[in-house]
């Protein structure tokens, strides 16, 4: 259940334009999303980074269109 909550937080951040970077691991094992969380784990805004398996990362980005000039992407 905790993992589903993390996935939902990143999808919400993508929808609201708060994701600042997506890093896909070279070995194809997964991806890391860096985003601004308005409440964080302590109630204050903070930058978060969450790593996911590649299957979960694909679930997160499905349905979104990335604007390469607005999002830093590392390969």
* DSSP state letter for 72: E
Residue ranges of domains in the chain, CATH in brackets: 2-66 (3.10.450)
pLDDT reported for residue 39:
81
Res 13: pLDDT: 93
Three state DSSP letters for 31-67: EEEEEEECCCCCCCCEEEEEEEEHHHHHHHHCCCCCC
User: In a structure prediction context, what are the per-residue pLDDT tens digits for the chain, which is 75 residues long?
Assistant: 699 999 999 999 999 989 988 999 999 999 999 999 888 777 888 999 999 999 999 999 988 776 666 655 555
Give residue 64's pLDDT. 79
Query: Could you tell me which residues are beta bridge partners of residue 11?
Result: none
Task: For residues 28 and 53, give the distance between their C-alpha atoms in angstroms, rounded to a whole number.
Answer: 9
């Amino acid at each position: 259940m905790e993992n589903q909550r993390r996935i939902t937080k990143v999808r919400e951040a993508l929808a609201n334009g708060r994701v600042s970077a997506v890093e896909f691991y070279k070995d194809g094992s997964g991806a890391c999303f860096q985003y601004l969380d308005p409440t964080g784990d302590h109630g204050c805004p903070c930058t978060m980074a969450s790593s996911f398996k590649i299957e979960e990362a694909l679930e997160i980005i499905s349905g979104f269109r990335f604007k390469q000039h607005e999002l830093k992407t590392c390969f």
